[in-house]
Structure 1
Amino acid sequence: MVFTVHPGISKAVHLNVLVQGEGFPILCLHGHPGSGRSLSVFTHHLSRQFKTIAPDLRGYGSSPADQDFVMADHLTDLEAVLDDYQIQRCLILGWSLGGILALELALRNLERVSGLILVATAARPRSNHPAISWQDNLYTGLASIANRLNPGGQWAIDTLGKRSLYRYLIQQHTPGTYRYLAAEAMPAYLQTSRQATRALSAALNQGYNRLVDLSQIQCPCLILAGSEDRHITAASSLETAQHLPDAEWHCYSNTAHLFPWEIPDQMLQDIDHWIEHHPEVVRERMKDEG
């Protein structure tokens, strides 16, 4: 499945956008469920040196979705954001679904993308998530409520969190990770529209495989994965890295799909080092280069 335009595609909608910092623009794309604010682990750090632009995708956060849409509509919306902010060239960071959108946006705008940071994502995503039981859902609901009332509380983590679906999203059940879950995951979940969920489900049912097209993306790419990711496996992330012409891949042990909230310091240090070694990804292209 490719995010192709079809007769039912709608016009761009105005997205709610969180902008922080000054400097070279980094477009930050969240996953499902998510919002621009659920990327704070990235934006708070990167905005010290760069201008981070974190939109709520259509149907997420505070961005509207008055009718059903398809995944390609996200790309139309994001291109409109780049135009609105007069961004000719940017680095894109995408987490999970956001990483897939980052790849698609790069394929549609090769000259506009200086580099990609792909987090817990893949061009041919594969999952090995076990079947979900009613007990899983029950414990997840109880854990979410208890953790919201007392973020990072050890009793809720040990009694409820480790028995919930969180055990597949994280490996390191630390108070810090659970504080991220309380502050950012739960609000994002509650703000995710039915239209957004339907659009993603329809796309997943069609299948998705962009590996054959990745050779077109010549810019530097950093791919980060959690070794125990059950939602988008580390193997599928590595496969993506192997098909990109200029890619660096990191896999973090004892982490899962939400590893940015498990090991934020180590991850951000790796991102900083990659940018230091690839200064071209945060530098405007000179006229004689274009």
Structure 2
Amino acid sequence: MAVRTVSLPTATLSVTEAGEGAPLVFLHAFPLSARMWARQLAALPPGWRGVAPDLRGFGASTGASARSVGEHADDVLALIASLGTGPVVLAGLSMGGYIAFECWRRRPAAIRGLVLADTRAEADTDEARARRVAMQARARTEGTGAVIDAMLPGLLGATTQTSDPHVAHEVRAWALETPGEAVADALEALRTRPDSRPTLSTITVPTLVIVGVEDTLTPPTAARLIADGVVGASLVEVPGAGHLSNVEQPSAFDTALHRWLATL
């Protein structure tokens, strides 16, 4: 794996890459970084080039943090254009999925396939928006540590919390690389994201939907709604995984991903 920087008009993104061939761009969850995709980058099938950016404001990327999924999508589309390879497979988990939906709405010609993992098409409810506002205040006053400590029980499934407690320490360390103000700005992007349900019927590229069976934040019912709305979409439920299915059960996640990639 190699890490490089990509200069965009709005930011300088830190990008981790591995492999050679057709590009597969991974978009990370909130409030983490490209580190969450390390196992997938290390296990890419032959013929694929994994590209995992730290989204603006996260990890080692620099520049004013983004406050909308549209700003993040513009960065991702600029990154895709910089690869010079034509359309890519775009894989997003949780927040990464919200950004992937927005990338499709803005430039479908840039995408040849979608992987939507542990995410949802619906916008936030009023109750969820209120929780985001409270968490923004906490991020600004108490920092990222307080936010991730409050989130960790929901990010990981019951199996992981019981059998692999080290995963929580790993996830917390990734999150702590992001400043509190950037976390607050990202929460604004999550809070104001559009409803992607009308987008589902417009998706015409091969699509894989993955969800942890134990995901309580974006549960299997949310994944099924996406899969039912995208013509021809495949749905895989990962046993023993919660919201971070690729981190909690990487072998099962990779098996599903690789089998789907082989069909493209």
TM-score, normalised by the number of residues in structure 2: 0.79
Shift in Å, 1:57:
0.2
Q: Where does residue 172 of structure 1 map in the other structure? A: 159
1:40 matched to 2:38: yes
Larger strand percent: 2
User: Which one-letter code corresponds to 1:94 in the other structure?
Assistant: G
Runs of 4+ in 1 over 6 A off after TM superposition: 126-129
User: Which one-letter code corresponds to 1:194 in the other structure?
Assistant: G
Distance 1:165 1:26 in 2: 28
TM-score, normalised by the number of residues in structure 1: 0.72
User: Which one-letter code corresponds to 1:173 in the other structure?
Assistant: T
Shift in Å, 1:221:
0.5
Shift in Å, 1:211:
0.7
1:109 matched to 2:103: no
Could you list the per-position Cα deviations for residues 153-195 of structure 1 after superposition, in whole angstroms to 9, with x for gaps in the alignment? Answer: xxxxxxxxxxx96443222137984444434x12321112334
Identity of aligned residues (%): 24
User: Which one-letter code corresponds to 1:189 in the other structure?
Assistant: A
Question: What are the ranges of 5 or more consecutive residues in structure 1 without an aligned counterpart?
Answer: 1-9, 132-140, 146-163, 280-290
Q: Where does residue 270 of structure 1 map in the other structure? A: 256
Question: What are the ranges of 5 or more consecutive residues in structure 2 without an aligned counterpart?
Answer: 1-7, 132-144
CA contact (8 A) 2:10 2:64 kept: no
Q: Where does residue 78 of structure 1 map in the other structure? A: 76
CA contact (8 A) 2:56 2:65 kept: no
CA contact (8 A) 1:114 1:219 kept: yes
Rg larger for:
1
Could you list the per-position Cα deviations for residues 201-243 of structure 1 after superposition, in whole angstroms to 9, with x for gaps in the alignment? Answer: 2234346411112222100100011222121122112111111
| Alpha-carbon spacing, 1:204–1:97, altered in 2? closer, same or farther (3 Å) | closer
SS at the partner of 1:121?
coil
Alignment RMSD (CA, Å): 2.9
| Aligned residues between the structures | 239
User: Which one-letter code corresponds to 2:261 in the other structure?
Assistant: I
User: Which one-letter code corresponds to 1:259 in the other structure?
Assistant: S
